[in-house]
């Protein structure tokens, strides 16, 4: 294995034998395997990928897609049926909540216990103890049995022990989902810091925003098979299209993604109704015809259809080059094909990396349009004051329902726009929240 590769997975498979009754296992042994008393379930099939040192890779997929099985194989908890895993570096894993902890031990005792499991001498763990306690921030509970801990306290201590054990590779399986927002931010900041020093990260989450923000590559699994391994935005789009597709179309989509992944082709995720992101507007100072996204993804039409998404300025002109501080209308229009109950509409603005920056919904949170009849057309104006910093952004919109199907229609990256730069900005990030000139006083 090359020295710059942290994890190498080649043709990895895991098959379980499922026995209907406990006695069937004994019968299987007595017949020396000549008579089959079990059925086989393949949790993972022929999966291959590599992670470089200092690289963060996300794993996404529906429940039961094989994500946790893959992580357990990489950690050595499970033995593969076939294939191989090669690890280059000290590995630390945060898998199931509280895994590796003895519930009867105190937090203090579990810190040293975990250190011993990872092969770290007690003297070395004593030198790190204060840092672990400070990061976990669970106060006097450090000397209480961990069985008395809340789920949030569990994950605080587990993450602190794992991240401060000086790993070269860290694996996180959804554990951060139970932490509060402040602690989650603390964890991600620490991961980013260590990644810059060469730490490799394997991160499983149902939060595509966290995946897009942290990872350089993303692995999409479905029914134990690799569907795609590549750039976050494109892989996440494929995942979202898969999970929102009607059940009868999901297998066909999975086959399409799998074939494209094997041949390195670009997955076709273009919108079916091109009218949503194609404009006949002529070039002007406020409209650039070259701003057409290549990542537009249309969810299946299931009772309603978004036909156009446009941005209008105060004069009612269609624009995609926006001026800081000006007001704009983001207009979504379309029609309902069937009767839909409990309806609400939404629009979101994303960064180039796919992170949702802001958005609006109608009606407000917790309220719905009770009933919309088939054949009704709609047009919704979402008003925005353009306080985003100069850069390129993507707009998407959707229709949701409190009844099945929950997403009658949605379009991701339906159009893109650019915010111009009139003067050197004082702010950084995504949003300009400055109110007046900064003042410095020297004494």
Q: What pLDDT, in 10s, does the model give residues 202-228?
A: 999 888 878 888 899 999 999 999 999
pLDDT of residue 60: 94
- Lowest average pLDDT, out of 16-25, 35-44, 273-282, goes to 273-282
**pLDDT score of 426:** 74
Residue 37, pLDDT above cutoff 90: no
**Predicted local distance difference test score (pLDDT) of residue 267:** 46
In the chain, which residues fall in CATH 2.70.50.60?
Answer: 274-419
CB atoms within 10 A of CB 107: 26
Copy the structure tokens of residue 36. 């089959």
pLDDT over 80 at 180, yes or no: no
For the segment 245-267, the average pLDDT, to the nearest whole number, is 78
Query: What pLDDT sits at residue 417?
Result: 95
pLDDT reading at 19 higher than 70: yes
From the number of C-beta atoms within 10 Å of its C-beta (0-12, 13-18, 19+), residue 335 rates as middle
Q: What is the pLDDT of residue 338?
A: 96
Tokens of 216: 């350089």
The whole-model pTM stands at 0.70
Rounded average pLDDT over 134-163: 89
- Position 264 scores a pLDDT of 59
What percent of the chain is modeled with pLDDT above 70? 90
For residues 99-117, average pLDDT:
88
Average pLDDT estimate for 7-15: 96
Averaged confidence pLDDT in the chain: 87
Mean pLDDT across 47-61 = 94
Confidence of residue 283 (pLDDT cuts 50, 70, 90): low
Comma-separated ranges of CATH 3.40.50.300 domains in the chain: 5-89+168-239
Residues 194-203: pLDDT tens digits? 888 889 999 9
> Per residue in 279-314, is it b (16+ CB within 10 Å) or e — as a string?
beeeeeebbbeebebebbbbbbbbbbbbbbbbbebe
Q: Tell me which residue of 182, 221, 216 sits closest to 202, measured CA to CA.
A: 216
On whether the CB atoms of residues 122 and 116 are closer than 8 A, the answer is yes
Which helix (H) or strand (E) element contains residue 399?
Answer: strand 391-401
Give how far the C-alpha of residue 172 lies from the chain's centroid of Cα atoms, to the nearest Å: 13
Q: What is the pLDDT of residues 289-318, one digit of tens each?
A: 888 888 888 888 999 999 999 999 999 999
pLDDT surpassing 50 at residue 79: yes
Class of domain 274-419: mainly beta
Q: How far apart are CA 303 and CA 7, in angstroms?
A: 45
The CA distance from 131 to 111, in Å, is 11
pLDDT at 282: 52
Q: Which of 194, 138, 134 is nearest to 166 (CA)?
A: 194
Angle at 295 between CA 184 and CA 393, to 5 degrees: 60
Is residue 351 classed exposed, middle or buried when 0-12, 13-18 and 19+ CB atoms within 10 A define those classes? middle
Mean pLDDT over residues 397-413, rounded? 93
Question: Does the structural domain 5-89+168-239 have CATH classification 3.40.50.300?
Answer: yes
Categorize the per-residue pLDDT at 357 as very low, low, confident or very high, splitting at 50, 70 and 90.
very high
For the chain, the first-to-last Cα distance in angstroms comes to: 59
């Amino acid at each position: 294995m090359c020295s710059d590769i942290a994890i190498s997975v080649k043709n990895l498979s895991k098959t379980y034998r499922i026995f209907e009754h406990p006695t069937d296992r004994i019968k299987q042994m007595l017949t020396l395997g000549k008579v089959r008393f079990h059925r086989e379930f393949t949790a993972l099939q022929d999966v291959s990928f590599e992670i470089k040192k200092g690289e963060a890779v996300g794993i996404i997929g529906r429940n039961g897609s094989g994500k946790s099985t893959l992580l357990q194989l990489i950690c050595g908890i499970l033995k593969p049926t076939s294939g191989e895993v090669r690890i280059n570096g000290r590995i630390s894993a945060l898998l199931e909540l509280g895994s590796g902890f003895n519930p009867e031990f105190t937090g203090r005792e579990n810190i040293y216990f975990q250190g011993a499991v990872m092969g770290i001498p007690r003297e070395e763990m004593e030198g790190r103890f204060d840092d672990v306690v400070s990061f976990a921030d669970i106060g006097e509970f450090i000397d209480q049995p961990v069985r008395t801990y809340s789920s949030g306290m569990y994950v605080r201590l587990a993450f602190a022990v794992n991240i401060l054990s000086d790993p070269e590779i860290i694996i996180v399986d959804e554990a951060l989902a139970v932490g509060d927002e402040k602690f989650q931010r603390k964890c991600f900041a620490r991961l980013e810091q260590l990644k810059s020093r060469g730490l490799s990260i394997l991160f499983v989450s149902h939060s595509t925003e966290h995946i897009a923000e942290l990872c350089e590559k993303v692995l999409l699994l479905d029914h134990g098979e690799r569907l795609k391994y590549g750039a976050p935005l494109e892989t996440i789009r494929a995942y979202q299209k898969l999970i929102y597709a009607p059940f009868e179309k999901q297998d066909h989509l999975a086959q399409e993604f799998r074939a494209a992944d094997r041949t390195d082709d670009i997955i076709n995720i273009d919108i079916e109704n091109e009218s949503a992101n194609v404009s006949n507007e002529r070039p002007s100072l406020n409209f650039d015809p070259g701003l057409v996204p290549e990542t537009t993804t249309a969810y299946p039409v299931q009772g309603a259809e978004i036909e156009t998404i446009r941005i209008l300025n105060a004069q009612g002109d269609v624009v995609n080059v926006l001026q800081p501080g000006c007001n704009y209308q983001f207009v979504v229009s379309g029609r309902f094909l069937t009767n839909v109950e409990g309806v609400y509409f939404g629009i979101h603005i994303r960064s180039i990396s796919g992170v949702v920056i802001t958005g609006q919904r109608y009606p407000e949170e917790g309220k719905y349009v009770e009933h919309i009849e088939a054949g009704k057309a709609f047009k919704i104006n979402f008003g925005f004051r353009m306080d985003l910093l100069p850069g390129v952004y993507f707009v998407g919109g959707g229709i949701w329902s409190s009844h099945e199907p929950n997403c009658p229609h949605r379009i991701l990256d339906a159009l893109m726009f650019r915010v111009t730069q009139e003067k050197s900005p004082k702010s950084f990030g995504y949003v300009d929240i400055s109110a007046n000139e900064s003042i410095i006083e020297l004494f």
